[in-house]
Structure 1
Amino acid sequence: MRSKKRLRAVFIIFLLLLGATVGKLFHAQIIKHEWLKERAQANWDREIPFGGVRGEIVDRNGKLIVGNQLAPTLYFMPAQNPDPEEAAAKLAPILQVDQVKLAEKMSKKDYMVKLAPEGKNIAKAQADEISALKIPGLYTGVDFMRSYPNGELLSRLLGFTGYDGKGLAGIEYAYNDFLDGTGDRIRMYTDARGVPLPHVDDDFKDGKEGSSVVLTIDAEMQKIVERELSQAMEKYDASQALAIVMNPKTGELLSLASAPTFDPANYQDANPDIYNRNLPVWMTFEPGSTFKIMTLAAGLEEKVIDLDHDSFNDPGYTMVGGARLRCWKREGHGHQSFLEVVENSCNPGFIEIGRRLGEKKLSSYIRDFGFGESTESGIAGEAKGILFAENAFGPVEQATTAFGQGIAVTPIQQVQAVAAAVNGGMLYKPYIVKEIIGADGKATQSYVPEMKRRVISEETSAEVRRALESVVANGSGRNAFVDEIRVGGKTGTAQKVQDGKYKEGDYIVSFIGIAPSNDPELVVYVAIDSPKNSVQFGGVIAAPIVGRIIEEIAPLASIEPQKDQVEKEYRWGDPLTQEIPDLKGMTKDEVAKQQYTLRIEWHGNGKKVSKQLPVAGTVVNEEDVIHLYTE
């Protein structure tokens, strides 16, 4: 009886255990099947990554500026190849790398080795040759590298990507989170030794393409601007140069250029000082006379001067706080209206405007125009500039600030301020990105004009525009004059400072122009650092460059010819100009037979002209040099 009870108990326990086992198997095989399968596959899978497709960078018209090109990358699974040394011996000659170092990398105990940098971003021809070898354990992953269809164009704004495809400078860095993409992956299932598992199909994991960045830049305008800077660098043997073109009605930056440039595809070969410094936002210097536009606008707004009916006598200097502050014209300009003060860029005249304003109002207007703070353009590396502190803004500082000396500002601050002075008085934030476009082609983020504040009235702005047009027609900016385009502007010549002292004979010359002056669509700023081979004045060097840029980009900005511009009368000493002919394709003898009066400098030993600077159709002074480059 006792044994029957024991037997029954054992049987019940057996049934319970069997039921628990069956239940566990049902739970594992049916209910938890997919979860356990995924966990197992995670232990078995070996992924071969495809490079992420990074978003493109395009100009305002959709023209490609930075794209992608296919660049295969090699991966090696040591467990699938018993002789990595032999594999390295076959690969090394094709990759043109050290065989011993490659064999050492391929002999690692890792389940998968990325052969980088030796086998990263290889050419398609190399990939085809390697594929024909059919080396066990060697796989080719799809990768991408940046391509630049316009070469060095915009390089100091765009920046570049690094070894891992991430942005390291410029737009590539500032908008990396938008541009970055995640690549597709092939999932292979193997055991611990790397042997493929039977009855388990390989898998594919989708990635995500990066978003494209649409710039406000106009690529065709940029080409014209960069060409002019390149010519200026060569003609004047300058150390560097910069230019900005902005729409004053919106704050959109249409061109942003620095010279010299670099090749973003080979940034390792460039001087870091070049690719780390986007001059229009990074560089700070004394603005010189271009800053006088702000003093003029403030004086007109506060009605302390009248351009036509107030007069001022300039003996060549003025005394302020015991200091003698001279005009650039040593003998002075004599008796003149305030319109002539602006035309002549007379320092004592602008000191007088600053004196009438008073230190508080002058300082207030300068800050209202955006100086002393970032423009918030969104461009990496932007500086804030340097203004006098309020407790250090005495009579001398007030006087020198009025004509653009003793302070340091950035070019983009100057363009932002001048735009406000001529667009009706509204200070707009400069911006460089127009839209972010997702992989589906739809805009995920848009940027629109942002007005910060009104600085002056429309009436004052109209008077500023009138004065600036008069500067180009009758004053120091005459070299920026363009037939049938109403151009206004202001010259700037600033002596460079080093260790708190002015450097003798070393200047930054500049010119800021507007067009058309009656209803500005463009503000164009050009600065040339340390020019040589010429008189160092903004009106001599920078003004004609701005004039040529405006003349060429006006059609791109839909600016129509205008007949009602202020007439420019020829003055004795004005340079004679000539339009450059098209010399491409000609031989030296054929060029000589044309008997051009222009000076020609030849470059290269070829037979025919393949390139010329300046390009055909450019209007230059007769003493200028044409550079001809042979094949």
Structure 2
Amino acid sequence: MTRFGIHSATQVEEAAGNAQGAALARTHRIRQRVLGFGITLVAVTYAVRLGELQIIEGDAHREKQLAQSAEWELLPAPRGRILDRRGRVLAAPDTRYQAFLAVDELTLERAEAIEAVAAVVPVSAERRQAIAEAAGGWSLVASDVSDEERVRMQRTIGHGVHFESRPARDYPRSMGRRLIGAVGADGRGGTGLEADLDDWLAGIPGRAEVRVDGHRNAYRPPGGQVIEAVAGHDVVLTVDAELQRIAENELARALTKTGASGGDMVLLDPRTGEILAVASERSDGAPDQVSALTDPYEPGSTMKPFLLASLLSEGVVDLDEIVDVEGGTLYSGSRVITDVHGYDTLRVRQIISKSSNVGAAKLAERLTPAVQHRYLRDFGFGMRTQLGHLAESPGRLSRPESWTALSPASHAIGYEMSATSLQLASAYGAIANGGVLMRPSLVREVRDPSGHVVQRFAPQPVRRVIPEQVAAEVRGVLEEVVRDGTGTLAGMAQFAVAGKTGTARLAVNGRYAQGRYRASFVGFAPADDPRIVILTRLEDPTGGVYYGGAIAAPTSQAALEAALATDGVQLDPRLVVSDARPRPWSGRPARGTQAGPVILAASGGTEMWTAAGGTAEPVIAVPDLAGLSARAAAAQLHALGLRVEWRGQGVVAAQSPVAGRELARGEIVVLK
């Protein structure tokens, strides 16, 4: 019993020990499994994360690593070109260089090397001294070196001269710079169209990966990343380079002759609104502003045609109606309106052609202020032209509610309001083209670097202002202005010109200054089929002559004659006369005209050339015209006072008389 009990206790203890061991074993197994699972989980987590790092986030981390271990060299984008309407380059990308002399590498003496550089480009005294005193290293010797100059320096100096290139801008034609503007030091557009068109011209810079060695020398590693630059777009303007040159030259000549402080000349196509040329000069204005767009002024009598157009459109006037113009003096309240020439009566058409302020003031009474204001507004006054480029002023045209009793007369003769030269030229374009105001434009199209057109800008009509018949009647009156009115000095023999002169008093500090004026002429040619509108404004002339008809009209005539003789204005066969007598062009063939060679009459100006076969002494040597176009040859002969008989096609192949022969003014040169 006792042994059995003892034996049983031992068995119990053994069983308990076995159970404890089994439990401990289970615990170990559980711990092992948990540890194994944990290790597996950690391993899987690391594997997943490693996969994320290498597969999903790999590119980002590689870029981060490159950013930390590499530097980048900027690759400038070639800037797009600015072209004129016929593809002639006005602005183009260029490369310029800085030149350095490495004094330790020179095979020449320093002084000799400096003189070799100075033979190519100017070297200042300060740079000469700095190079002479340099202990070693590189010394800057020239900052704006062309590629041709770089080659000449390399050939002359040899070892020891180094160059660093930088992008620059080349303007191959010395015209239109105020309009085109310039590029800043950062390579972006700084002024003018260079700034305004920068989004198209600039392109997208590239970059190249570089490494830096222990000596801080940068180099491109083999296989390094390179992101190529994207070149900018080319922009084609509506401007014609030859017409721009003519406008700038004629304006400069007029400013010199009249002593004017500044002025504008604008040429545009009335059919499309395209600006063909715009020249502006102001002695007291910002050098990078185009005053034809930014400087509004009181236009004076050049506003009278818009009064006439309003009256005719409203049906309250007849062109041949006789008006009492009070002998040239009209008392209106406290104000006295006067004419330069006093007349007792004038027909309505003569009020414009003779530029009667009294007549215009009396005619303005037939319109309510609201109607008069509406027509002025419809012609574009008092608002920007929506050119879309460069800074532009809206001018000033107050609401009719604020007009005084004197305002209708003031607006009729171009006072108490202001307009820019572009606004005024555009408004005349509406008269010239049949009554539709066109939105002016400076950009024709944009081309990508391969030459494909990516954007083209079509002509945009703004609104019809007056009926076509009214526009034709006003054009006829403006032709009378040039034929026998105040604008005779704008007339040409081979083309009929229509236009209006203006002479306005100049306001200084809010008051009209004694003896200071603004002279202007706005017109178009040919009168029956207008191809070109011209505006000439001369500010504050000091030569003693200040009337628009005396100084602005002949300036316009000279510019028109040169413009119509270029290829920039399309030649119409109807624009030449068919006999030897210079006379205004009417747009209709003369009755009884026989078929035969065409004779281009020279401009008469204020005198007519002597008839062929006259008694004038032979004083003109005939130039050599071989290879010139008919238009260019005719223009050259007209300038000499000769007439032209054209019997060929294309360019001049032969001429009679031959080059060098002396002729009298008015004689004919036959071109074949």
TM over 0.5, shorter chain = yes
User: Which structure has the bigger radius of gyration?
Assistant: 2
% identical equivalent positions: 28
Structure 1, residues 346-398: CA drift from partner, whole Å, max 9, x if none? 11111122111232211221111111111111232211112244233122121
List per-residue Cα deviations over 1:486-516 (Å, max 9, x = no partner).
Answer: 1111001111101221111211101011111
Asked if 1:413 corresponds to 2:423, the answer is: yes
1:253 matched to 2:275:
yes
Secondary structure of the residue aligned to 1:409 is coil
1:150 to 151, 170, 173: 173
CA contact (8 A) 2:382 2:397 kept: yes
Q: 1:132 to 1:293 in 2, by over 3 A?
A: same
C-alpha deviation, 1:46, in angstroms = 2.3
1:64 is aligned, of 71, 86, 89, to 89
Q: Which residue of 2 aligns with 1:333?
A: 343
Deviation for aligned residue 1:411:
0.8
Q: Distance in 2 between matches of 1:9 and 1:122?
A: 80
Q: Distance in 1 between the 2:193 and 2:140 partners? A: 25
**SS of equivalent to 2:445:** strand
Give the whole-Å Cα distance in 2 for the aligned partners of 1:198 and 1:499.
64
The CA deviation at 1:534 is 4.3
Work out the CA distance in 2 between the residues paired with 1:116 and 1:172. 33
- CA apart distance, 1:146: 0.9
| Other-structure match for 1:51 | 76
3-state SS in 1 of match to 2:285: helix
Matches for 1:171-182 after TM superposition, within 5 Å: 171-182=193-204
- Equivalent position SS for 1:221: helix
Residue type at the aligned position of 2:307: T
Corresponding residue number in structure 2 for 1:627: none
Unaligned runs of 5+ in 2: 1-20, 118-122, 132-137, 578-583, 588-604, 611-617, 621-634, 642-672
Q: Which residue of 1 aligns with 2:475?
A: 465
Q: Please, what TM-score do these two structures have when normalized by structure 2?
A: 0.72
1:444-473 deviation digits (Å, cap 9, x = unpaired) = 222111111111101100100100111111
Q: Which residue matches 1:605?
A: none
Q: Is the 8 A contact 1:298 1:362 kept in 2?
A: yes
Q: For 1:202-231, what per-residue CA distance to the aligned partner results, in whole angstroms no more than 9, with x for missing partners?
A: 342201111111111111111111111121
The RMSD of aligned alpha carbons is 4.2
Aligned residue number for residue 291 of structure 2? 279
> SS in structure 1 opposite 2:406?
helix
In the alignment, which of 393, 408, 421 is matched to residue 403 of structure 2?
Answer: 393
Give the residue type in structure 2 aligned to 1:400.
S
Q: Is 1:565 aligned with 2:585?
A: yes
In the alignment, does 2:391 pair up with 1:378? Answer: no
Deviations along 1:115-172, one digit per CA (max 9) or x if unpaired, are 999987654455975997689xx9x765321111112x11111111111011122111
Give the Cα–Cα distance (whole angstroms) in 2 for the partners of residues 197 and 342 of structure 1. Answer: 76
What is the CA-CA distance between 1:40 and the residue it aligns to? 2.1
2:305: which partner in 1?
A: 293
Query: Cα–Cα, structure 1 residues 334 and 177, in superposed 2: closer, same or farther, change >3 Å?
Result: same
Equivalents in 2 of 1:340, 1:412: separation in Å?
Answer: 27
Work out whether 1:169 is the aligned partner of 2:191: yes
Q: CA deviation at 1:8?
A: 7.1
Structure 2 distance, partners of 1:325, 1:18, is: 102
Q: Does 1:485 align with 2:495?
A: yes
Change (3 A) 1:518 1:576: closer
CA distance in 2, matches of 1:527, 1:473: 21
* TM-score (normalised: structure 1): 0.76
Distance 1:205 1:116, change over 3 A: farther
Distance in 1, matches of 2:415 and 2:220, equals 80
**How far 1:30 sits from its partner (Å)?**
7.2
Residues 470/493 of structure 1: CA separation in 2 closer, same or farther (3 Å cut): same
Question: Partners of 1:538 and 1:119 in 2: how far apart?
Answer: 50
Select between 92-101 and 45-54 the one with higher mean Cα deviation.
92-101
Instruction: Judge which range, 47-56 or 515-524, deviates more.
Output: 47-56
Q: Give the conservation status (yes or no) of the 8 Å contact 1:548–1:619.
A: no
CA-CA distance at 1:578 after TM superposition? 7.8
Does 2:62 correspond to 1:37? yes
Please give the residue correspondences for 1:205-604 in structure 2 after superposition, counting only pairs within 5 Å. Answer: 205-259=227-281, 273-329=285-341, 332-555=342-565, 556-560=568-572, 561-563=575-577, 565=585, 575-576=606-607
